[in-house]
Structure 1
Amino acid sequence: MDPYDSDSSGLEDAGDYTETGVLLGYASTEPTDDTISHLGGWPTWLDESTPPPGDLAKCKVCNDPMLLLLQLNGDLPEHFPEEERRLYIFGCPKKTCNRKPGSVRALRGIKRFKVQSSKQTPANNSQTESSKTTTTEKPDLGSALFGTGSSVLTSNVNPFSTSSSSQSQNNPFAPLPSASTLAAKPPQNPAVNSLSETFASKLRVSDPAPEPKVAAGPVLPWPAQSDFLTPYTEYHLDAEYETLSRPSSPTIPANTTIENIETEDSSKGGGASDSKDTNTFESSVDKSFLRFSTRLGHNPEQVLRYEFRGTPLLYSDTDAVAKLFPQPSQQQTRPRFPRCDSCGSERVFELQLVPHTIAVLEDGREGIGLGKDDAGMEWGTIILSVCAADCGTSEGSQVGWREEWVGVQWEETK
């Protein structure tokens, strides 16, 4: 099956290949401009004085601290211009915890920009009125993203272009005062996004949000590094838009005709039986896995796929995660992710880790950490879905943390 019939937006024809709206992350041993995003290693926080609650560090199966798989600079200036964002995915390496809910967890951290406000109260006490002036400290996104003035920041600028212009030389995962080029990719079709949001708004009216959960009990401190197992080796991250190469047409000798081929096939006992065997094979194969492996085959070194409000690639169409996605017989077009536990807003897809991540992180890890109990990772993909409203901070707080939904599709076992 040709992978061009994907759910990804923004397909652009470029001759021998097609470029999609998905950003692919690649592991690198060489430093990049980004000092925030990485695979493995130790996590760093938006504010070192305000780490996440300690219970978020622990595996829900064994209650031991987990290892960091991914830390990503997730700033989205187009969607959330007044805050910094970071995304984290942790996993428990214990064999006894593998394939169990809660052995992989994800966090989202946000930091609001400082807001200065002042109130002016007239002297007339009988008619007391107050006026508030608010100044938001925001960076020049044009300069931050592309090294130019903000006047050139348009929806047509490609931060990952290979051209020699100054707009395209920056690393897409590079740390910025408040903006990440990975997560700041402009939507390629604003009209479609607006239409989708309109339908989403109508859907929320008929699908009431649950009551937000209220945290109870004291907040545990984040564990000390000595409480963790030896972390995975840290790798830098680089990224570029996904490209799908066009399959080349087979070369047919000039003296070959269709009649010749049909005659040759018949003489070898082919024909109807071969067609039957092909149909039987296709019906027995998980079509999502076939599409997943074919798509990743175009860029086999990728470790993550990023497309905020996009659609992930499913590793399987038979597990509990797959049931959240629309089926051909259903009218819905969006995945039905669980709503945000904190504010009740809908959740949307942001990124997924793919199998090459395992090969990168486990390279050279044999004999480190748990020894015989360290079974290694056995997932096919980890899908991260986040609160569409990006909730997180409470009144009077600039930094906030939320646990987000992760859907793990595990490797098929025979």
Structure 2
Amino acid sequence: MDPYDSDSSFDDEGDINETGVLLGYAADEVIEDTISHLGGWPTWLDDATPPPGEFAKCKVCNQPMLLLLELHGDLPDDFPHDERRLYILSCPRKACNRKPGSIRALRATRKLKIEQKPRPKKEEKQQEPAPEQPKTDDHPPAPKQDLGASLFGSSSLTGSVSASANPFSSSAAQPSTNANANPFAAPAPSPGLAPKPTTSTPAAAATTTATLSESFADKVRVSSPPPPPSTLTPPPESSSGPSTPWPAQSEFPTPYTQFYLDAEYETLSRPSTPTIPENVTIDNTEEEGPGGAGDLKDTFESELDKAFIRFSTRLGHNPEQVLRYEFRGSPLLYSYTDAVGKRLHDSTHKPPAAAKVTTVAAVGNASRIPRCEYCGSERVFEFQLVPHAISVLEDGREGVGLAKDDAGMEWGNIIFGVCAKDCGPKEVGVVGYREEWAGVQWEEAAK
């Protein structure tokens, strides 16, 4: 059956299926969002604060790159106080094609408000001793400690499941994503829930509580520990000296034609029985036992790149898509055998042979994406560009004064991995830029 990569089920009639993936389509005119677009020139959260100039340059030739995509990335349910924009830039020069660093991902973030964590109330310096109560028992029972208050503070632990706003719209909230609250945050304990002093010393009590929290967290920790602070990359705004300015437009190659983006949720039709092309002949005359179309299909597919079959079949349901968006979701992989495919694909995961679909890329891929080098947090999948974007961007590009070494694009998939904590400047109103992970799968990966 058609191997889908998002949990969903067919409707009552069994013909149409809607997933949680939001698809982007190229549009000549503005549909709703005036920020998100393919090609053209990038726009910034603050025109007076463009990114440092080194983010504009290819890591191979050190020359300015072209914008492939700018995406309005506000997520009110996940980051309610952050303005976000996401960018993908690519070097068009032939000598840089297929080399690491020729395609780069960039995120801009601005805090609109600093969320204040609750602080414990200070104890009064002088308190009159309570009147002594008559003793009724030489050993009164000690009060039972509130474990939840010790681990998580006075608030109860609940999982927050919400729908994030449409990244292609500056107003409407559309895409459905899951963003669970972090149960390992350490809000301050409420004084009213603190246990009464016992015979143990304060230092011993603190050690016991810390050990309890750490041991509990160790049991449920699923990702690798963050790198030590000494190995983190300092953010651009922390630099004491002036940064390299963003290049003038005259220094860039001819940009791609600009297209705005329209968005709608992915719909899939019921998979049909695959057929073998007429020009393919499979000799299984020596096989004994029952044989049929299913045996021929298995033999045929075993000779091909199964990842590419899944990739192309899935895109075939909506062939005009240029972008697939699912914050904290799983990417649709172009290949399992290239560097990106080997990193993200879980070979132990097998889709069930049932109507309900599951992920091609196994759940938990977030931990397989390299961690944020600025804050040490894990990165998660946010979106990917798919091959039809190349057809859209390069259409009509010939004969517009291009450089001789402009070789055209040869990638098959660009996966955008983003810091799960949306790290950025701590000051309100300050725009910060972070380079994010661009997982590029080139055309030659599919055989």
> How high is the TM-score relative to the length of structure 1?
0.73
Distance 1:82 1:200, change over 3 A: farther
1:44 is aligned to 43
Structure 1 residue 351 displacement after superposition: 0.2
Unaligned runs of 5+ in 2: 117-124, 127-159, 186-216, 275-283, 351-361
- Asked if 1:181 is matched to 2:179, the reply is no
Compared CA separation, residues 300 and 330, structure 1 to 2 (3 A): closer
What is residue 313 of structure 1 aligned with on the other side?
332
Q: 2:258 aligns with which of 214, 219, 234?
A: 234
Q: Secondary structure at the match of 2:221?
A: helix
Contact 1:12 1:20 in 2 (8 A): no
Q: Distance in 1 between matches of 2:265 and 2:436?
A: 25
What amino acid is the match of 1:213?
T
Distance 2:218 2:2 in 1: 30
Match of 1:284 in 2: 303
Secondary structure of the equivalent of 2:330?
coil
Corresponding residue for residue 219 of structure 1? 243
Aligned residue number for residue 257 of structure 1: none
Q: Which moved more, 1:25-34 or 1:75-84?
A: 25-34
Match of 2:372 in 1: 340
What is the deviation of 1:247?
3.8
Cα separation, 2, equivalents of 1:26 and 1:310? 19
Question: Residues 53 and 158 (structure 1 numbering): CA distance in 2 closer, same or farther, change over 3 Å?
Answer: closer
Bigger strand fraction = 1
Give the Å deviation of 1:368: 3.0
Map Cα deviations across residues 142-201 of structure 1 (whole Å, 9 max, x no partner). Answer: xxxxxxxxxxxx989898xxxxxxxxxxx872224xxx636xx3436x78x989x99996
Mean CA deviation greater in 362-371 or 326-335: 326-335
Matched residue SS, 1:412: helix
CA apart distance, 1:209: 3.0
How many angstroms apart in 1 are the aligned matches of 2:39 and 2:372?
27
Residues 1:405 and 2:437 aligned together: yes
What does residue 102 of structure 1 align with? 101
Instruction: Give the alignment partner of residue 355 of structure 1, picking from 387, 398, 405.
Output: 387
Aligned residues of 1:94 and 1:370 also touching (Cα < 8 A): no
Pairing 1:293–2:312 present: yes
Rg larger for:
2
> 1:245 pairs with 255, 259, 269, which one?
269
Are the equivalent residues in 2 in contact too, given 1:155–1:186 (CA < 8 A)? no
Deviations 1:22-66 (A, max 9, x none): 000000112212110000000000111111111000010111111
Once residues 10 and 289 of structure 1 are traced to their aligned partners in structure 2, the CA distance between those partners, rounded to angstroms, is: 22
Deviations 1:349-373 (A, max 9, x none): 0000000000000000013353432
CA 1:90–1:116: 2 relative to 1, 3 Å: closer
Compared with structure 1, are the counterparts of its residues 28 and 396 closer, same or farther at alpha carbon in structure 2 (3 Å cutoff)?
A: closer
Aligned position for 1:150: none
Q: CA RMSD in A?
A: 3.6
Q: Is the alpha carbon distance of 1:11 and 1:312 closer, same or farther for their aligned partners in structure 2, counting shifts above 3 Å?
A: farther
Q: Is the deviation greater in 97-106 or in 371-380?
A: 371-380
Q: 2:420 aligns with which of 380, 385, 388?
A: 388
Question: Aligned pairs, how many?
Answer: 342
Report 1:136-147 matches (<5 A).
none
Name the SS for the 1:85 alignment partner: strand
Cα deviation 1:204-233 (Å, max 9, x = unaligned): 4x5333432126664111111111111100
CA distance in 1, matches of 2:162, 2:376: 34
Work out the CA distance in 2 between the residues paired with 1:83 and 1:309: 17
| 8 Å contact kept, 2:417–2:436 | yes
Other-structure match for 2:2: 2
Percent identity over the alignment is 61
Mapped partners of 1:93, 1:373: distance in 2? 8
> Which residue number in structure 2 is paired with residue 68 of structure 1?
67
Counterpart in 2 of 1:324? 343
Counterparts of 2:91 and 2:12 in 1: how far apart (Å)?
Answer: 42
Q: Offset of 1:397 from its aligned partner?
A: 5.9
Q: Secondary structure at the match of 1:372?
A: coil
Shift of 1:399: 1.1
2:397 to 327, 350, 365: 365
Task: Give 1:89-168 correspondences, 5 Å limit.
Answer: 89-114=88-113
Identify which of structures 1 and 2 has the higher relative contact order when contacts are C-alpha pairs closer than 8 Å and 6+ apart. 2
For residues 82-137 of structure 1, the C-alpha deviation after alignment (integer angstroms, 9 at most, x for no partner) is 011000000011111110000000110011115699xxxxxxxx99xxxxxxxxxx
Residue equivalent to 1:207: 225
Equivalent-residue separation in structure 1 for 2:293 and 2:78 (angstroms): 53
Offset of residue 374 of structure 1: 1.3
Q: Is the 8 A contact 1:114 1:398 kept in 2?
A: no
Post-superposition shift, 1:392? 1.4
Q: Is the 8 A contact 1:172 1:240 kept in 2?
A: no
Contact 1:91–1:103 under 8 Å retained in 2: yes
Match of 2:78 in 1: 79
Whole-Å separation in 2 of the counterparts to 1:247 and 1:280? 19
3-state SS of the aligned residue for 1:43?
A: coil
TM-score, normalised with respect to structure 2: 0.68
Quickly say closer, same or farther: Cα 1:378–1:200, change in 2 above 3 A.
farther
